[in-house]
Amino acid sequence: MEVVASAPGKVLMTGGYLILERPNAGIVLSTNARFYAVVKPIYEDVKPESWAWSWIDVKLTSPQLSRESMYKLSRKHLTLQCVSSSESRNPFVENAIQYTVAAAHATFDKNKKDALDKLLLQGLDITILGCNDFYSYRNQIEALGLPLTPEALATLLPFTSITFNSEESNGGNCKPEVAKTGLGSSAAMTTAVVAALLHYLGVVNLSTSSEDPHQQNKNSMDLDIVHMIAQSAHCIAQGKVGSGFDVSSGVYGSQRYVRFSPEVLSAAQAAVEGIPLEEVIQNILNGKWDHERTEFSLPPLMTLLLGEPGTGGSSTPSMVGAVKKWQKADPEKSQETWRKLAEANSELETQLNMLRKLAKEHWDAYKCVIDSCSRLKPAKWMEGVIEPIKETVVKALLNARNAMLEIRNQMRTMGEAAGIPIEPESQTQLLDATMDMEGVLLAGVPGAGGFDAVFAVTLGDSSGNVTNAWSSHNVLALLVREDPQGVCLESGDPRCREITSAVSSVNIK
């Protein structure tokens, strides 16, 4: 009866800030770092007396934060009350629970509602687990005396405890509660919980990642429901309507994204003022969701790398606040910068799409160019290239680099004007040095920028050079890579799987 669903973390490669306003697009890559939600009943059977209960028991466990909370869910109002200490509240999961149960009520007929009631009376036991890549383990690695390398990271047990940022570093409200790497733990967590609960309650029927693409297409309506519910729950929990690229990539995987109109969530915001949840969910499910999603993934033989510069991360809301303030204070200059940024974002997208097309239509030439560029500094990529098709590939690579340089340039301009470190000086030096290395196509700050992370896209086998160079600059290369897959159903608790694979690898040795 146990249901396990997972959703990926994300890297916003282009479109930070601009993506907040339609019709600007952003390119978001989903990753192999996943958040898992395990849902099962608390009680094996429904006791006869429980039919008279007004409340459903809900238990939420977050082993990585050593938190366990008990809640009561009202059978009549579908609202949740925490009955353990308020310190252990988790607004993302709380909203996810209320919204998914309300979605079941809003969409089920009488028969299904009776079965739902019975299932809910068995209680909901929910466990949430995020891959290590979502969190910073720099302090633990340093404390263990290990070098700052991906190999040292790989020695940590899966789902290791999370470090909290210290109170004093959090004082200026510029650092988040937990030391994170910027992969969007809250969006992946909300998406995984919503998906697991909707599947457990029978609102949707999700497929496992291994199932064939036809089956996955059949599930696209189910994914849309997961998206609408997860997006609404995430916004309400955050207390703000962001662009939603993180939830969208959590559900559908890597993509080119244009945001939804914020009005679609006005019903959910009104719920805070007392409209019954079931009605709110009806509104959300029937709303005019006008976001755009186009398939996108990195061209073949390219690798996404992420590095953690090690300062505990930045708070996205305060960075967004500063940019909005600047837009108001200097509309002319800010519009000019945004126009240039939008152009550069679109140019990078065009070049990467062109490279994907070239790989498809001229694989041998494409592979040959990537292999040779992976061993050369960018300034030498064009040397000795005579064949026209290879020249076209190298030109597209160089155009992609130039677009990235322009994106970084405009992001820095925006940061300076808004008075926030979007590409901090320390990052600029690191990114310049990285972009000058053999086989590096691009490097930048993902999403809102700041101190969360840096990313690079490398060609062929050159990623090892970058991770070594980063280690010597005190930047910890993470183990995370691009994986275009969105939400999916898992075959079991990931902790059992990790143990099984650890045991079998010990046996093999």
Ligand X SMILES: Nc1ncnc2c1ncn2[C@@H]1O[C@H](COP(=O)(O)OP(=O)(O)OP(=O)(O)O)[C@@H](O)[C@H]1O
Which tokens is 447 given?
Answer: 């999403």
Q: Nearest approach, Cβ of 246 to ligand X (angstroms)? A: 6
Q: Which of 5, 9, 14, 16 binds ligand PMV (CB under 6 A)?
A: 16
Is 245 an interacting residue with respect to ligand PMV (CB under 6 A)? yes
Task: For the chain, report the end-to-end CA distance as a whole number of angstroms.
Answer: 35
Taking the C-alpha atoms of residue 71 and residue 160, their distance in angstroms, rounded to an integer, is 25
Which residues from 156-185 bind ligand PMV, rule CB under 6 A? 182
Q: Which of 422, 151, 467 is nearest to 303 (CA)?
A: 467
Is 259 an interacting residue with respect to ligand X (CB under 6 A)? no
Q: Nearest approach, Cβ of 322 to ligand X (angstroms)? A: 15
Report the chain's C-alpha Rg in angstroms. Answer: 23
Q: Which of 447, 460, 484, 486 binds ligand PMV (CB under 6 A)?
A: 447
Q: Which of 146, 199, 205 is nearest to 476 (CA)?
A: 146
One character per residue 191-230, x = contact with ligand X (rule: CB under 6 A): ----------------------------------------
Residue given tokens 């509104």 in the structure block: 283
The stretch near ligand PMV (CB under 6 A) out of 37-45, 168-176, 242-250, 303-311 is 242-250
Q: Nearest approach, Cβ of 178 to ligand X (angstroms)? A: 5
The stretch near ligand X (CB under 6 A) out of 170-178, 207-215, 289-297, 382-390 is 170-178
Phi then psi dihedrals of residue 441, to 5 deg: -80, -55
CA angle 290, 294, 300 (to 5 degrees): 160
* Cβ-based burial of 52 (10 A; exposed 0-12, middle 13-18, buried ≥19): exposed
Is 136 an interacting residue with respect to ligand X (CB under 6 A)? no
Total residues at interface with ligand X (CB under 6 A) = 19
Instruction: Choose the one of ligand PMV, ligand X, none that binds residue 243, judging by a C-beta under 5 to 8 angstroms depending on kind.
Output: ligand PMV
Q: Nearest approach, Cβ of 185 to ligand X (angstroms)? A: 4
Taking the C-alpha atoms of residue 129 and residue 189, their distance in angstroms, rounded to an integer, is 8
Which residues from 54-73 bind ligand X, rule CB under 6 A? 62, 64-65
Q: Which of 287, 315, 273, 275 is nearest to 229 (CA)?
A: 287
Is 316 an interacting residue with respect to ligand PMV (CB under 6 A)? yes
Is 308 an interacting residue with respect to ligand X (CB under 6 A)? no
CA angle 414, 457, 423 (to 5 degrees): 20
> Among all residues, whose Cβ is closest to ligand PMV?
447
Instruction: Choose the one of ligand X, ligand PMV, none that binds residue 177, judging by a C-beta under 5 to 8 angstroms depending on kind.
Output: ligand X
Closer residue to ligand PMV in complex, CB, 93/320: 320
Instruction: Choose the one of ligand PMV, ligand X, none that binds residue 20, judging by a C-beta under 5 to 8 angstroms depending on kind.
Output: ligand PMV
- On the question of a cis peptide bond just before residue 23, with omega within 30 degrees of 0, the verdict is yes
Beta-strand relationship, 302-308 and 124-130: unpaired
Residue given tokens 């916004």 in the structure block: 235
Note the residues at the interface with ligand X (CB under 6 A): 62, 64-65, 90, 128, 130, 176-178, 180, 182-187, 189, 246, 316
